[in-house]
């Protein structure tokens, strides 16, 4: 699943190609995604100019000043910028065509993504989201305060989008390793000082991933078709039973919330 760094990488990649350009056509080939594509999308977007591309959590927004397109990639969605027409593939569900011939194409093999038209800033999917992990609001003090009555494992705690957005499975694994915290520890048993380390680790891991272009998963490549490279420097994720790069202890793997968790039994306490 594309996570926050992949979405931010896509945002930065498509922005220079579509900002300042007028939409002349919207082609919806398959409206049935996780939620149906907004019926009014074509009518509302056609004739408007994209003034900016923004992101909130894993949602991407094409802003027009009087409404916006909200895109979520789901499990396998991606966007491509085409500068000349290319015949659509089986999983190319939507095209946004601009006045200069540029096409923004939404592809989603598993169809768990979504495309909405919003007249304002409100949407039910955005109402309960926590702070952005790279914002000043996200701190160790914030995490410690919210964790006091929560017995859930700390990894699941930081993956809760109502606590903080965009810390997906890969980056939760990596941040907990960097902070030296065992993923199965109860959130309310972790001290303020260790949450300070964890908040800093989350920021560091996500910043590195964005700079590197995101982590390539099986179903995700960047908007220009080339892969991200952050997967080459993952410390624990995907390395179960391999030596810890710090101490040499074999990394262990467990399941948490139906997902793989890899950690060092020596370095993470």
Residues 160 and 166: their CA atoms lie apart, in Å, by: 9
Instruction: Tell me which of 6, 11, 55, 58 is the catalytic residue.
Output: 58
Tell me the whole-structure pTM to 2 decimals. Answer: 0.88
Domains in the chain with CATH codes: 4-126 (3.20.190.10), 140-263 (1.10.8.50)
The string of pLDDT tens digits covering residues 34-72 is: 999 988 999 999 999 999 999 999 999 999 999 999 999
Active-site residue, 3 included: yes
Instruction: Tell me which of 2, 5, 133, 183 is the catalytic residue.
Output: 2
The string of pLDDT tens digits covering residues 76-99 is: 899 999 988 889 999 999 999 999
State whether the Cα torsion 230-231-234-236 is positive or negative: positive
Residues 48 and 98: their CA atoms lie apart, in Å, by: 10
Active-site residue, 12 included: no
Q: How far is CA 127 from the centre of its chain?
A: 17
The string of pLDDT tens digits covering residues 156-177 is: 999 999 999 999 999 999 999 9
């Amino acid at each position: 699943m594309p996570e926050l760094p992949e979405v931010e990488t896509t945002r930065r990649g498509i922005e220079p190609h579509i900002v300042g350009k007028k939409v002349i056509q919207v082609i919806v080939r398959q409206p049935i995604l996780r939620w149906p594509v907004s019926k009014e999308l074509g009518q509302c977007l056609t004739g408007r100019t994209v003034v900016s591309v923004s992101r909130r959590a894993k949602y991407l927004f094409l802003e027009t000043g009087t409404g916006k397109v909200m895109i979520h990639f789901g499990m396998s969605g991606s966007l491509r910028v085409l500068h000349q027409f290319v015949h659509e593939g089986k999983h190319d569900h939507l095209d946004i065509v601009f006045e200069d011939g540029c096409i923004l194409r939404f592809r989603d093999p598993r169809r768990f993504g979504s495309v909405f038209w919003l007249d304002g800033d409100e949407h039910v999917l955005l109402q309960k989201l926590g702070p952005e992990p790279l914002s000043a609001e996200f701190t160790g003090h914030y995490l410690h305060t919210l964790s006091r009555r929560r017995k859930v494992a700390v990894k699941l705690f930081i993956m809760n989008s109502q606590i903080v957005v965009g810390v997906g499975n890969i980056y939760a694994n990596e941040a907990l390793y960097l902070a030296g915290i065992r993923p199965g520890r109860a959130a309310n048993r972790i001290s303020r000082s260790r949450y300070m380390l964890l908040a800093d680790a989350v920021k560091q891991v996500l910043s590195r991933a964005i700079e590197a272009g995101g982590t390539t998963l099986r179903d995700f490549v960047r908007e220009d078709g080339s892969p991200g490279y952050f997967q080459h420097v993952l410390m624990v994720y995907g390395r179960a039973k391999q030596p810890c790069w710090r101490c040499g202890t074999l990394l262990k793997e467990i399941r948490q919330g139906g997902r793989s968790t890899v950690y060092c039994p020596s370095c993470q306490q």
